[in-house]
Chains A and B, each alone.
Chain A
Amino acid sequence: DIQMTQSPSSLSASVGDRVTITCRASQSISRYLNWYQQKPGKAPDLLIYAASNLQSGVPSRFSGSGSGTVFTLTINSLHPEDFATYYCQQSYNRPRTFGHGTKVEIK
């Protein structure tokens, strides 16, 4: 199985801050990397697919980059509704695997 490692596991930030989350795959996954946002009691929502493609309806302050084994999710100018947990997920092969999440909390 491909292991997905996210860092940090949590972070504190203020409204307006720029936040970067890193995801590392245990082997090359090309650009088969997706990012999700999850709020308490809700299902994950797709933010970014194929490493850098913004899902329809997702604000442009979210962006993704990377290929191979290292990927980043960046949130420019954090909004109050962005405080949530973020997950990366590889779709390169089965079994599909997820990172353990990064919780973005209010400072």
Chain B
Amino acid sequence: QVQLQQWGAGVLKPSETLSLTCAVYGESFSAYIWNWIRQTPGKGLEWIGDINHSGSTNYSPSLESRVTISVDTSKNQLSLSLKSVTAADTAVYYCARMNGGWQRFDYWGQGSLVTVSS
């Protein structure tokens, strides 16, 4: 049974760096592409970026200047770093597995609420 478990700081001040980690259990890490997605009431679901097991990344153009996604294959973990956060980065952040040629998100983490407030 595939499980994605995520964690990280929940409250940040403006200009700080958001850091989240997602651990993958029950499945081969190297066979898939791993994603970060966030959700806000205003903008809805927003794709942040993805990474494969070798560390090759793709980012959303709107966040590319501030975001870094990395992997630790020895631990089956992926991480998200978003620097210089503002209130607009307040959201629930999800990690998700992208599967197959049709590239659907078939497994998701439980979500992490990150609040940016002074």
Contacts and interface: CB of A to CB of B under 8 A. Distances in A.
Interface of A: 1, 31-32, 34, 36, 42-46, 49-50, 53, 55, 87, 89, 91, 94-101
11 contacts: A1-B61, A31-B102, A43-B96, A44-B45, A44-B105, A49-B106, A91-B104, A96-B37, A96-B47, A98-B45, A101-B45
Interface size class, chain B: 20 to 34
A45 B111 CA distance: 13
State the main secondary structure of chain B at its contact with A: strand
Contact of A43 (B35, B50, B58, B94): B94
Could you say which of A32, A36, A43, A99 has the most chain B C-beta atoms within 10 Å of its C-beta?
A43
A85 to B, nearest CB: 10
Given A49-B102, A91-B104, A43 B111 contact: yes
Interface in B25-71: 35, 37, 44-47, 50, 58, 60-62
A87 B105 contact: no
Contacts of A43: 94, 96, 108-111
A13 B2 CA distance: 34
A62 B20 CA distance: 34
A95 B45 contact: no
The 7 closest A-B pairs by CB, nearest first: A43-B108, A91-B103, A49-B104, A98-B45, A96-B47, A50-B102, A95-B60
B44 A94 contact: no
A51 B111 CA distance: 26
Nearest to A55: B106
